[in-house]
Structure 1
Amino acid sequence: MATDAVPAPRTPLSRERVLRAAVELADEHGLRALTMRRLAEELGAEAMSLYYHVAKKEDVLDGIVDAVAREINEAVANISAPGWKAAVRQRILAAREVFLRHRWAPALFETRSSTSLAVLRYYDALVGLMRAGGFSYDLVHHSLHALGSRALGFNQELFDPSESGDSTPADLAGQLPNLVGMLSEIAHDDPDSTLGWCDDQEEFEFGLDLILDGLDRLLET
Structure 2
Amino acid sequence: MVRETSGPSGAKLQLSRELVFERAMDLADHTGLDSLTMRSLAVALGVKPMSIYYYVAKKSEILDGLVDRVFEEAASTRSHHDSTWQQAMRERAVTMRAVLARHHWALGLIESRTSPGPATLQHHNETLGILRSAGFSIEAAARAYAVLDSYIYGFVLQESTIPVGDTATVTDVAASMLKQFESGQYPHLLEVATAVVMKPGYDFGSQFEDGLDLVIHGLESWLDS
Same fold (TM over 0.5): yes
Tell which has more relative contact order, 1 or 2 (C-alpha 8 A, sep 6+).
1
Q: Which residue of the other structure, out of 2, 18, 35, is the alignment partner of 2:37? A: 35
Aligned counterparts of 2:29 and 2:134: Cα–Cα separation in 1: 37
Q: Which residue of the other structure, out of 9, 21, 24, is the alignment partner of 1:22? A: 24
1:19 Cα deviation (Å)? 0.5
Which blocks of at least 5 consecutive residues in structure 1 are unaligned? Answer: 1-7, 163-168, 194-199
Residue range with higher mean Cα deviation, 145-154 or 78-87: 145-154
Give 2:90's aligned residue.
Answer: 89
Give 1:210's aligned residue.
Answer: 214
Match of 1:53, SS state, is coil
Which blocks of at least 5 consecutive residues in structure 2 are unaligned? Answer: 1-9, 164-176
| Number of residue pairs matched by the alignment | 199
Aligned counterparts of 1:114 and 1:182: Cα–Cα separation in 2: 48
Q: TM-score, normalised by structure 2?
A: 0.69
Give 1:219's aligned residue.
Answer: 223
Give 2:118's aligned residue.
Answer: 117
Match of 2:27, SS state, is helix
Give 2:109's aligned residue.
Answer: 108
The CA deviation string for residues 61-108 of structure 1, in whole angstroms up to 9 with x for no partner, is 1111111121222222x3323321112101221222222222221122
- Output the aligned Cα RMSD: 3.7
Aligned counterparts of 1:43 and 1:114: Cα–Cα separation in 2: 25
Cα 1:126–1:152 change in 2 (3 A) is farther
Superposed, which structure 2 residues align to 1:1-221 within 5 Å?
10-76=12-78, 78-150=79-151, 155=156, 201-220=205-224
2:37 counterpart letter in structure 1: T
1:15 Cα deviation (Å)? 1.3
Match of 2:55, SS state, is coil
Q: TM-score, normalised by structure 1?
A: 0.70
Q: Does the 8 Å CA contact 1:106/1:154 hold for their aligned counterparts?
A: no
Aligned counterparts of 1:181 and 1:73: Cα–Cα separation in 2: 42
Q: Does the 8 Å CA contact 2:100/2:107 hold for their aligned counterparts?
A: yes
Aligned counterparts of 1:48 and 1:122: Cα–Cα separation in 2: 33
Percent identity for Structure 1 against Structure 2: 35
Cα 1:121–1:148 change in 2 (3 A) is same
Aligned counterparts of 1:43 and 1:125: Cα–Cα separation in 2: 35
